[in-house]
Amino acid sequence: MKRRSLLYLGISLTVCAASSFVKVAAQSPTGVTQRVQFEKGRFSTIVKGAVGLGNKDTYIFRVRQGQEIIMDVVWQGTPVDPNEDRGLSGFSFVQPDGTIFEDPQDGYFNAALTGDYRVIIAQPQRLSSPEYTFKLTIR
């Protein structure tokens, strides 16, 4: 009886340890997701953030059809390996219908639809700093 109890205890501890390991391994920072808020009477805002390589920050904002969307992402860091510079903008623009513009070189769009638009910011390459400034203007 004592052997069986010890066996069950050992199995239980092994299962608990394994499930704890799986949870820890699955928990990785993925970045932030937030709705952009404009101060009353303002049509432009600046968001400062930082996103590690492999993670993404997502900003959501509502726009009416026909409005102009102007955005710019400026990275504070410099490429760790200058030979790795691929000329990528570091952001993707997603329309309400799911159309994605990856690494656009122009940060100017006319809203084709009314709805929630998203900007997804990710490091375009290894940088000396993960910090960025995201400026969004809607008019």
pTM of the predicted model as reported, rounded to 2 decimal places = 0.74
Which pLDDT band holds residue 135 (cuts at 50, 70, 90)?
A: very high
CB count within 10 Å of CB 96 equals 16
With a cut of 50, say whether residue 27 has pLDDT above it.
no
Which has more pLDDT, 85 or 105? Answer: 105
- Average pLDDT over every residue of 68-89: 84
User: What share of the chain in percent tops pLDDT 90?
Assistant: 58
Which pLDDT band holds residue 21 (cuts at 50, 70, 90)?
A: very low
> Any idea which of 14-23, 30-39, 48-57 has the lowest mean pLDDT?
14-23
C-alpha to C-alpha distance for 133 and 73, rounded to whole angstroms: 6
Which amino acid is residue 37, in one-letter code? Answer: Q
Pairing of strands 57-63, 33-35: parallel
pLDDT at 22: 32
C-alpha to C-alpha distance for 2 and 121, rounded to whole angstroms: 58
**Distances from the Cα of 65 to the Cαs of 30, 90, 119, 122, 133, in angstroms?**
31, 25, 17, 27, 26
- Average pLDDT over every residue of 37-46: 93
> Any idea which of 19-33, 59-73, 101-115 has the lowest mean pLDDT?
19-33
